[in-house]
Structure 1
Amino acid sequence: MKTQWSLIAALVIALLTAVFAVINVNSVQVNLLFSVVNIPLILLILGCTLLGGLIVGSFGIFRQYKLQRELKRLTAQLHTLQEEHNSAMEAYAHTTYDTPDSSSTLSISDRVTEQPSSNPDRLSK
């Protein structure tokens, strides 16, 4: 929806600029620092509007390029961290623990699901 409103606003501004330029068709004197030229005001208005649009557009393109580059860098970093996390979890899952009462080993998932007993005799000791 934001893009549609931006497009409508740009079209309204372009229409107002075109109407303003068509009304002002007289020739004007423009000082370019190194020379003075006489050009129709309509060309000056449309040229300045075009130049402003190109400058704003180039800043937008540059910003979007920087954001895409940052997105690629962060995505690569995320994949690296996920791989490190997965390999650490696999290494942790393969670790076995010896229980004091038996020689059998339990995996991490077994130890997590194992709950402490609520035997009253055990609590009193």
Structure 2
Amino acid sequence: MKLQWLLLIGLVFAVIIAVFAVVNVEEVPVNYVFGEAQWPLILVILVSALLGFLLSVMVAMARNYALKRKVKALQKELAEKESIIATQQNEISDYQHADVRPDTTVVTEEDKTV
């Protein structure tokens, strides 16, 4: 549902840009660092919108890549911890079958400071 809303908003935005660009067809001076040229305003608007779209797509892709790397690292960490838990559960089970009871010790404040 969220994707449908994003597509609808993107489509509305694209139509607004297209209408705005078609209304503004006169030539305007475009000043580059190394020179100046006369371009139709429709081209300036459409190229600017396209460059903005491409920049936002690249930022989204970089963020997506970083999040995927983080997910993989967390999945690896989870698998390691699950392995440790399984090993410890097996050890507990072995102790219970062998009827081994750990020594009960009482820890007091004096024992902690020593």
TM-score by length of 1: 0.76
Distance 1:13 1:88 in 2: 57
1:106 aligned partner: 99
Gaps spanning 5+ residues in structure 1: where?
98-104, 109-125
Q: Deviations over 1:67-114 (max 9, x none)?
A: 0110011001100100011001101211158xxxxxxx5379xxxxxx
Distance 1:33 1:6 in 2: 36
Query: Is residue 2:10 matched to residue 1:17?
Result: no
Contact 1:95 1:107 (8 Å CA) reproduced: yes
- Secondary structure, in 3 states, of the residue corresponding to 2:45? helix
Distance 1:54 1:96 in 2: 62
Higher relative contact order (CA 8 A, sep 6+): 2
Which structure features the higher share of helix residues?
A: 2
- Secondary structure, in 3 states, of the residue corresponding to 2:33? coil
Gaps spanning 5+ residues in structure 2: where?
102-114
Moved over 2 A (4+): 105-108
Contact 1:93 1:107 (8 Å CA) reproduced: no
What one-letter code is carried by the residue in structure 2 that aligns with 1:106?
D
Distance 1:74 1:36 in 2: 52
1:93 aligned partner: 93
- Percent identity, aligned pairs only, is 36
1:34 aligned partner: 34
What one-letter code is carried by the residue in structure 2 that aligns with 1:76?
K
TM-score by length of 2: 0.83
When Rg is computed on C-alpha atoms for both structures, the one with the higher figure is 1
Aligned length: 101
What one-letter code is carried by the residue in structure 2 that aligns with 1:73?
A
